[in-house]
Chains A and B, each alone.
Chain A
Amino acid sequence: MKRLLSILALVISAEASAHHGWSGYDDQRPLRLTGTIEASGYEHPHGFVRLKTADKTWLVVLAPPSRMGNRGLARAELAKGATIAVEGYPKRNDPGELRAERITIGQKTTELR
């Protein structure tokens, strides 16, 4: 019951600071990562890439596929082996996950928020 209450308190406090659904990510610690795509998904509810950087492989959460499509980021651009850069915020409770604010592939930057 105590654990239940603490989770509930967590949910409510996170709700209070909610920021368009980005509350699970620490926007006080913006990061820029560069690496190569190991795997990607252009899928619901959010696209993702597994990004191999110099020190580790990140799970980078992107936008819903409809939004990426509307902003001109095609499925084929998230090709395995492509070198990309992302800017975003690390997940508060998972140091291996980043939610991307924008993604740069070649010369093109796409806003994801």
Chain B
Amino acid sequence: MNVDVGTAWTLIDESAVAGAMRGSTWLYPVVEVVHIAGFSVLLGSVAMFDLRVLGFGRSVAVRAAGSMLLPWSMMSLFAIVPAGLLLFSAHPNELAVNPVFQLKLLLIGLAGLNALSFHGGVYRTAATWDPSAPALAKVHATASLGLWLGVITCGRFLAYS
């Protein structure tokens, strides 16, 4: 079956889940809370790790900080992404063409690529980063902080534009 993208958004818009998101008194705010609580954990853990890579909090080794913090970054996605999809489902046609929403998705994609290339690349040598991480690692960490702040800024605008 050939369903074009606009039709797909309309199917989501007319679904029972989307109707409940718009119409139920509590569902939408509860899902918002899950989304926000989730990205608080994501941003908190990512920022603490990035700051450690940048040289703050040297009493904890980089790899120890990573093994403590980064599993929470991953776990938080199980709250953020489903909640985000539900929020999207309430108004898919409007959001899909909203440039702020498109920018937000792009920044999330770039943040993901940044993390992948960090972990697949320079982080492999983290055991030898004493006392200071290499410049490339700091570039990744700075990019991560900037990208995630951009994601939050876009999200804030989607909620209140």
Contact = CB atoms under 8 A, between A and B. Distances in A.
Interface in A1-49: 4, 7-8, 11-12, 14-15, 18, 20-24, 41-45
B22 A43 contact: yes
A65 interface: yes
Interface stretch (B49-57, B114-122, B149-157): B149-157
A57 interface: no
A23 B154 CA distance: 14
Interface residues of B, number: 21
B59 interface: no
A44 B157 contact: no
B103 A44 contact: no
A42 B156 CA distance: 22
B36 interface: no
Q: Tell me whether chain B's interface is mostly helix, strand or loop, or mixed.
A: helix
B28 A45 contact: yes
A66 interface: yes
B99 A7 contact: yes
B21 interface: yes
B58 to A, nearest CB: 33
Contacts of B150: 8
Interface string B143-161: 0000000100110110111
Contacts of A65: 25
B153 to A, nearest CB: 6
Contacts of A43: 22-23, 90
Contacts of B22: 41, 43-44
A21 B100 CA distance: 14
Contacts of A4: 103, 106
B114 to A, nearest CB: 15
Interface of B: 21-25, 27-29, 90, 99-100, 103, 106, 150, 153-154, 156-157, 159-161
